[in-house]
A and B are shown apart, each in its own frame.
Chain A
């Protein structure tokens, strides 16, 4: 049976992880490759690296980092953050990433999704959608959640699928950071509307939240950051819990 995926997300700046991490037995918690290895040992099913570097050196630093991660990591990983062109994508894929996630740049120029899919296959393209519930509807935001795009979330989700995205990473801005649980309604709506995997993101605070998102929606995976970094929910413990609730996990 196909398993539900548990996906830790790491924020990267200038080649280092940004948020602190408190694994006791790790030498350098700022080293993304070492952290990644730790998550692999714990049973993470996939990893997402989100680069928030905003310098001109960005592409080079990121490629070097991806190369280092690819040498260490034996599970699939996605790299995202400020990817604007096919050249950016090529550099990251050649360095050894399995997938790239694109967000604002796809809203600005939807053709980028098709270009990546044609060159590297749909399985390489993750469409990251930041969504916010306002004025009684779910809409899309870009530029790290700062600027509203004139798009309804469901319409945009269907469009990215048509353009060739292989997966959707759906982050609810209303839920992100609250630790009150995933946005069940929009996750459910999007995962019913498209025929590609949807990864739920934003709001995970307890093991029950993961159970809930897998029970109540068709999400294929769930992503979280801080609760994994700070050891609030160890991945092995989360997986044992989900197994007792008959959710298929690795």
Chain B
């Protein structure tokens, strides 16, 4: 069973739909036991960093997520919360990835909305994805690049489009909204 972590952020429904389209069973849950015993865990989210972190702490989901041993996939705000610190609401995050989260300087339109391509792609999660593939982004804050970066995207700055450390994977873009390329990435994760 795939567990999608339920918390106070955004449209989780589309992640559930995407997983089901690929033929996998999943539950949306905030229950610690169900999350701990799931074969894979997805940590989605659209929203504001400090209120999301506060919610996770209140429900003790912060320590739970860090202790997970099965593959975990953070999406969008999920990736940012897996970094160490976010400028959004001056928030101490989970600290899984060795990067900080910063706001885009307003040199182009912010938020970064739309389809953009990935570069410097590596690792199992992005197997079969190349620099011509586009994925869908919607965000005003970005994760810096660091040794955990497995793909970058260029918009105003060069930022981490996908990250990995051990069993923790994350994407800044929305694979569940990224047509065939996104489906491939979700499939890769579900097959890990």
Contact = CB atoms under 8 A, between A and B. Distances in A.
Q: Is this pair of chains taken from one and the same complex?
A: yes
Interface residues of B, number: 35
B47 A2 contact: no
A74 interface: yes
B21 A1 contact: no
Interface in A68-89: 70-71, 74-76
Interface residues of A, number: 28
A167 interface: yes
A120 B10 CA distance: 7
Contacts, number: 77
Nearest to B48: A121
Interface in A1-26: 1-3, 5
A99 to B, nearest CB: 9
Given A1-B117, A45-B115, A75 B177 contact: yes
B14 interface: yes
Interface in A194-249: 195-197, 220-221
A166 interface: yes
A197 B111 CA distance: 9
B60 interface: no
Interface of A: 1-3, 5, 40, 45, 70-71, 74-76, 93-96, 98, 120-123, 166-167, 195-197, 220-221, 250
Interface of B: 10-11, 13-14, 17-18, 20-21, 46-48, 106, 108-117, 134, 136, 138, 154-155, 174, 176-180, 182-183
Given A45-B114, A76-B177, A221-B114, 13 more contacts: A1-B116, A40-B179, A45-B115, A71-B20, A74-B21, A74-B180, A74-B183, A75-B179, A76-B136, A95-B13, A98-B11, A121-B47, A197-B114
